[in-house]
Amino acid sequence: MEKIKKIGVMTSGGDSPGMNAAIRAVVRTCAFNKIECAGIYRGYEGMIEGDFIELDARSVKGIINKGGTFLKSARSKGFRTKEGRQTAYDQLKKANIDALVVIGGDGSFTGALLFNQEFGFPVMGIPGTIDNDIAGTSHTLGYDTALNNAVEVIDKIRDTASSHNRLFFIEVMGRDVGHIALNVGIGAGAEEILIPEEDLGLERLLESLNRSKQTGKSSSIVIVAEGDKTGKNVFELKDYVNEHLPEYDVRVSVLGHMQRGGSPSCFDRVLASRMGVKAVESLLKGKSNLMVGLISDRITVTPLERAIKGQSKINKELIRVSDIMSI
């Protein structure tokens, strides 16, 4: 691998709190090592169009506390084609960019891996997604912030639930995994948590709600992961409970994208900083096709292919804790 003199940094896929902090870390680690850094606007689409900006240590001041990504993110149909990737490669070479740091999820990493395989272009990944669904790290950027955002809102909803003796079904994000739902459910004191990894079943849900009623609970919170496998979405669940337990006054709240917004937590800011430093230093050591991750509070690297194809594991102990806490 030729000596790296300039690194490009981009954000791709869904935004997540901590992405700006990670960009800042990449840029300042480049400055510390006396190499250039370029920001790539709008992910792979911006790469194809050559939408680059030169970044130095002062360019990224005041962004560590900002949510979202100032480099923007966009889907790119063009990058899915060989011609589009060739154009992207030509644009990078024209701008004298020697390596890439890609901040995103599995789709972004899949594109980076393919790009490396076709052109031998050095790439490093930083996992940025609130879903925490990437193998090779215990925490992705934005996950901790999303948990705190959700718990804060659910605490407010509980005030209303208690005042009116209501049952609330609250849907949280997470796509096909239940990390957010499980942790938020325990943190917010939910009576039940519905996640894709554990098919609770509608009958058990009714039994649980009946038991709660009999033990004196006047209000209940049920957290539903958006990928839950009961076969019903959160509004259908409301109708189902209304039909079988008419004594409940049921409401639905879908938290949606508010979980992805806002200022990143201290944990996410520190994690982003550590990951950004590791990504740049790994490239400068001649490493490529790796994703930076956090394992047992140590910053480690995992092959991109393993991170993409692997599955993040749900914490079985948390499921047991949830069952005990919901008594």
Token pair 């790119």 in the structure block, residue:
76
Catalytic residue among 15, 98, 131, 268: 131
d(CA 75, CA 108): 10
Q: E strands within the chain?
A: 6-11, 36-40, 52-55, 99-104, 123-127, 166-172, 192-194, 220-225, 249-254, 290-295, 298-303
Q: What is the pLDDT of residues 184-204, one digit of tens each?
A: 999 999 988 999 888 767 888
List the chain residues with pLDDT less than 50: none
d(CA 170, CA 256): 10
d(CA 191, CA 245): 16
**The token pair that represents 261 in the structure block:** 């917004």
Does the annotation mark 131 as catalytic?
yes
Residue 218: per-residue pLDDT = 62
155, containing H or E segment? helix 143-164
